């Protein structure tokens, strides 16, 4: 019994340490972005493989509230030339958010190629069957240290930094991020 009790305590300590490390990393990323010291390390990598790796990374978060994660990966994704680490962080942040606000539902990550204004684009779309947001909440979504309201922070936790960092990274990589939602859906 003693060792089992220690294991449970050690798991709690580890989970809290990981949580604190995540908060510290977010604040450091934010500081680098504001100081314009964040660097891009572009490399070629297979997009589908990276998407599958990201899905595996968030699997336990998705499962935690009884959700399922579906991948819709187009056949023609090929390789991308960008900062793979920042792209991964964007996708993990988006999927983590979807998992946080969805219970016994479905989260989908769809990836496809498209052409816009003569340029090739990769489009990543995260959808979920979670609680949704009204227009006022959507307007605040990418503001730093901001969440929908105080009850959201109490009920779901978080700092309100993940999506602000995600937007900054998406823009640094030459992309953009948008949201579509309706309350309760």
For the ranges 70-74, 78-82, 144-148, the lowest mean pLDDT is seen at 144-148
Q: How far apart, in Å, are the Cα atoms of 109 and each of 86, 105, 125, 150?
A: 17, 14, 6, 28
Q: pLDDT: is 57 or 111 the higher one?
A: 111
The pLDDT assigned to 169 comes to: 87
Confidence of residue 26 (pLDDT cuts 50, 70, 90): low
Percent over 90 (pLDDT), the chain: 39
Task: List, for residues 146-184, the tens digit of each pLDDT value.
Answer: 655 555 444 445 566 788 888 988 998 999 999 988 888
Contact assessment for residue 92 and residue 57, using Cβ atoms and an 8 Å cutoff:
yes
As a residue count, the chain comes to 185
pLDDT at 49 over 90: yes
The region of weakest confidence among 39-48, 49-58, 151-160 is 151-160
pLDDT bracket for residue 67 (50, 70, 90): very high
The CA distance from 70 to 55, in Å, is 9
Reply yes or no on whether the pLDDT at 50 is more than 50.
Answer: yes
Mean pLDDT across 120-133 = 92
CB 61 within 8 A of CB 99: yes
Q: Which residues pair with 123 in a beta bridge?
A: 112
Q: Per-residue pLDDT averaged across 43-71, rounded?
A: 93
pLDDT in tens, 108-118: 999 999 988 88
């Amino acid at each position: 019994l003693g060792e089992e009790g220690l294991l449970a305590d050690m798991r709690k300590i580890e989970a809290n340490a990981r949580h604190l490390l995540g908060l510290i990393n977010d604040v450091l990323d934010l500081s680098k972005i504001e100081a314009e010291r964040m660097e891009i390390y572009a490399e070629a990598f297979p997009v589908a493989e990276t998407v599958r790796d990201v899905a595996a990374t968030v699997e336990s978060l998705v499962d935690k509230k009884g959700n399922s994660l579906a991948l819709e990966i187009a056949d023609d994704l090929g390789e991308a030339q960008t900062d793979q680490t920042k792209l991964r962080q964007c996708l993990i942040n988006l999927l983590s958010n979807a998992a946080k606000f969805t219970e016994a539902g479905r989260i989908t990550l769809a990836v496809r190629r498209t052409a816009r204004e003569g340029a090739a684009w990769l489009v990543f779309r995260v959808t979920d069957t979670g609680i949704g947001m009204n227009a006022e909440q959507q307007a605040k979504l990418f503001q730093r240290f901001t969440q929908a309201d105080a009850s959201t922070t109490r009920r779901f936790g978080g700092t309100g930094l993940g999506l602000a960092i995600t937007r900054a990274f998406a823009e640094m990589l030459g992309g953009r991020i948008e949201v579509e939602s309706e309350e309760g859906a």
